[in-house]
Amino acid sequence: MTGIMLKGIVTKGNKLGRKIGFPTANVAFLSPLEPPPETGVYACLVNFGDQWLKGVANFGYRPTVDGKKLVFEVHILDFSEDIYGKTLQVSLAGFIRKEKRFNDIAELSDQILHDIQQARALLR
């Protein structure tokens, strides 16, 4: 358990996650992160409304896609609601891996599938 709790508003992103089958909520933080979490992929719990949902989060620069801007994005498992503009609380439950650059989107997709499997196992 990392013990880090983040809170922010879901904003529009580039929709790449949706295009490759893993839609993400891009979260704009409501306050500065002091200290910020390590960049990488995390198993997480997401509070939306009155429910806690399982997810996998990436905090980093997304080097395979653009690598320029620090972003926090969450793929909520088994969830498909439109939550743009909503406030989310995200609890980072376990570190899965460091961020890395992949050769192409297909390789990234394969890794995301593996990350989701690891998040499910960590969040049982």
At residue 103, the 3 state secondary structure works out as coil
Q: Report the percent of the chain where pLDDT is more than 90.
A: 69
State the average pLDDT over residues 10-16: 81
The predicted structure's pLDDT at residue 2: 67
CA atoms within 13 A on the CB side of 121: 8
- Distance CA(65)–CA(104), nearest Å, equals 9
Angle at 101 between CA 46 and CA 24, to 5 degrees: 25
pLDDT of 1 strictly over 60: no
pTM of the predicted model as reported, rounded to 2 decimal places: 0.91
Mean pLDDT of 11-35: 83
With beta carbons less than 8 A apart as the criterion, state whether 93 and 47 touch.
Answer: no
Domains of the chain and any CATH numbers: 4-122 (2.40.30.30)
